Amino acid sequence: MKLKYIFTAILSILIGCVSAMGQPQSVMKSYNFSRALEEAKKGNKAEAIDFLKKEVTDNPNNGYAFFTMAVLQADGEDYSGAMSAINTALKKLPKKDKEFVARSYASRGQLYAIAGDTVKSMEDYVTALNVNPTDADILESYGQILYELKRYDEADKNYRQIVSLNPASVMGYMGLGRDAYAVGNYDEAVRQYNTVIGMYDDYSSGYAFRAESYLKLGKYLEAVDDIMKALSIDNDAKAHHYLFEFPEGKTTLVITKLKGMAVKNPHNAEWYYYMGQLYNDRKMYAEAIEALKEAYNIDAHPVFLELMGDCYQSLGNFTKALEVITEAQQMRPDDLDLISTKGDILGESGDIEGAIEEWTRFIDKAPALFYGYYRRGFFEDNSERTDDALSDYDMAIMLDPTYAYAYLGKGDMLMRKGDNDKALETYRKVVELDTIPNNQSCAMYALLALGEKERAIDFMQQIIANDPTDCGNYYDGACFYSRMGDLDKSLTNLRKAFELGFRRFHHVMSDDDLKELRGTQGFEELMYEYNKPISEFDDSSDNNELVGQEYEITNIPFTADSGCVSVKCTINDLPLSFIFDTGASTVSLSMVEANFMLKNGYLKKEDFIGSQRFVDANGGISEGTVVNLRNVDFGGLHLNNVRASIVRNQKAPLLLGQTVLGRLGSIEIDNPGKKLIIKR
């Protein structure tokens, strides 16, 4: 529920305000209460609540302590405890302290909103504003609730009050713009966002929301310019979303703008990544791969390889997909997304045992996630390991009783074992859970098994009608009609799936649902027509099997220094010694080395990219300047365009992280021989 997140955001503001709201000195001098505030500011909520409990035990009339406890409990989603604490706060707080009393009513109003009691919620907000009508935070919070309830005229009154109190209020004008957009007055929305941008030209949300309105007005050039601006400020999430909302005919316009941004920012890989995402969204996989290669050349990040693998997989080129995902795993061997992606690629390429092994790795690392068991069960199902599949489907259901596909798999396994009564009971659960036909539906199979043929056909047709461009829907249609015995319709749907880009040929050849269809001449002709070698990326490595292929091995000596592995390398032709750190995400330089490199020409002004935040070994967040290292030589292995962070700490060690290590290959440490063994 959106209100929950709004409440959390407001409470975080309140945490920062608690100690500044004119409380009596007797309260502030309390040891437990002051310690609670200190821990809350540090983010140690559990410790803060412990101190507050001690405080209210010693000082049961301290309404401020109850208020703060409610804030923290609600932020931790203990809404029952928060409601009890805020009710006590309202009894204990001095009535003359209008600021705290008003915010207490507003906080309780948020709790009622989360509970779905809008009547009591609005009563409390009205009371809060009667107590303190000039509290902009309360006005904004109430305005948000009214917006969520689609009471836009009333929400407008709150936002106009905010603007009258503070003519430079961003949230006031943004609220007015959002209300105007909601009622279809897009020109007025643009006018309000213009006011925001006029005051704060570096506020990304102003551009992102204005782009949304421009899209509705059909002003695509203005919209795309606003999106580029928002993304260049802080990678605005809303702007990123609207990259994909342009009509198909405007794809070239958006790509042209992205290419322009990439030229202006040659060391920023994100513009090529956005291109890759957009091309992938438009099913232009070859173009997506080329854009992602450019991104990876700038910044060797596994996310680029992951999407590249998806694109290769969509093209049916599973060898290349497996190659790039394996490379990404060298950087992040424990990444669950990469493990799951590799498992699926192995399965789709016909290596079912490899897929099961990879999904077993996933389960070992995340035993509480239902999806690992479901996917392993799926591949066990396809390899006739019925009992194993049934066991995994049961585990998936236990961990998530709402996932319809797990019940479908279980029903199929029970039917295969001849336990028809239990199978039919399980199919009925599928129908109970999957009620709205969509791209993720499977109820049509269960309905068919239950003998409700006409209802099953209608459900299947609704799925395709809801999204006739999705190749997976037509593949489901092929499976459905094959199960039903209508092989002509099955073949027609399979052809349509292939026409729209479905390329899971190994799966087609092993899928039980298509068993009857595979025996027809039409199927053989269709497979011959579409299941041809991929030529778009047919280089010398494409047709090599990864298993058993030869590796180039490089040995690099290191020295041990205070328990650390130190290696020699050159950066922009400057010899340096770095700490070999597989846990570091990037290369990092201290200010000392960076200043030396800049003064002596090893770094140039155009090498400086910007700044980024990162977490250090102690869990602290630091901000460092990001530079592009034009060339890095590591044991004779040459890499171009490596991203590095300059740490503001003068004494920070030089770390060689994953932006280099991940591009080298698999790395082993030979401690007796004091050498690193790199396999490429």
CB atoms within 10 A of CB 255: 19
Distances (CA, A) of 271 to 235, 276, 497: 10, 9, 31
* Chain centroid, CA 582 distance in Å: 24
Phi, psi for residue 468 in degrees, rounded to 5: -75, 0
For residue 306, what pLDDT is reported? 93
Cβ–Cβ under 8 Å, residues 238 and 205: yes
Interacting residues of 151 by C-beta distance below 8 A, sequence separation 6+: none
Q: What is the pLDDT of residues 243-301, one digit of tens each?
A: 999 999 999 999 999 999 999 998 889 999 999 999 999 989 999 999 999 999 888 88
Torsion of CA 132, 136, 141, 143, to 10 degrees: 100
And the tokens for 566? Answer: 């130190």
For residue 545, what pLDDT is reported? 39
Pairing type for strands 559-561 and 655-656 reads unpaired
Encoded amino acid at 100, one letter: F
Interacting residues of 430 by C-beta distance below 8 A, sequence separation 6+: 404, 407, 408, 411, 442, 443, 445, 446
Length of the chain: 680
Residues of the chain with pLDDT under 50: 1-16, 19-22, 533-549, 613-622
**How much helix, strand and coil, in percent to the nearest 5, is found in the chain?**
65, 10, 25
For residue 636, what pLDDT is reported? 73
Angle between helix axes 386-399 and 370-382 (nearest 10 degrees) is: 160
Distances (CA, A) of 668 to 292, 348, 561, 584, 676: 28, 30, 18, 16, 6
Q: What span, in angstroms and rounded, lies between the C-alpha atoms of 449 and 89?
A: 58
Q: What span, in angstroms and rounded, lies between the C-alpha atoms of 164 and 638?
A: 61
Interacting residues of 362 by C-beta distance below 8 A, sequence separation 6+: 336, 339, 340, 343, 369, 372, 375, 376
For residue 551, what pLDDT is reported? 57
For residue 250, what pLDDT is reported? 95
> Three-state SS for 639?
strand
DSSP state, 61? T
> Three-state SS for 642?
strand
Q: What span, in angstroms and rounded, lies between the C-alpha atoms of 317 and 321?
A: 6
> Rounded to 5 degrees, what angle do the CA atoms 330, 334, 335 make?
90
Cβ–Cβ under 8 Å, residues 629 and 604: no
For residue 619, what pLDDT is reported? 40
Q: What is the pLDDT of residues 615-655, one digit of tens each?
A: 344 444 345 678 888 888 877 777 777 778 787 665 666 77
For residue 421, what pLDDT is reported? 95
Cβ–Cβ under 8 Å, residues 299 and 332: no
Q: What span, in angstroms and rounded, lies between the C-alpha atoms of 93 and 193?
A: 40
Q: Residue 576 forms beta bridges with which residues?
A: 569
Closest CA to 183 of 221, 224, 160, 154: 154
Q: What span, in angstroms and rounded, lies between the C-alpha atoms of 24 and 62?
A: 10
DSSP state, 427? H
Angle between helix axes 2-17 and 63-75 (nearest 10 degrees) is: 140
Q: What is the CB-side half-sphere exposure of residue 214 using CA atoms within 13 A?
A: 21
Encoded amino acid at 615, one letter: V
Cβ–Cβ under 8 Å, residues 222 and 214: yes
The whole model's pTM is what?
0.74
Phi, psi for residue 568 in degrees, rounded to 5: -95, 145
Q: What span, in angstroms and rounded, lies between the C-alpha atoms of 502 and 485?
A: 22
For residue 23, what pLDDT is reported? 52
For residue 626, what pLDDT is reported? 80
Closest CA to 441 of 452, 450, 449, 430: 430
For residue 649, what pLDDT is reported? 63
Cβ–Cβ under 8 Å, residues 342 and 328: no
What are the CB-based long-range contacts (under 8 Å, 24+) for 112-120?
113/3, 113/7, 113/145, 114/1, 114/3, 114/4, 114/7, 114/79, 115/79, 118/145, 118/149
Longest CA–CA separation in the chain, Å: 89
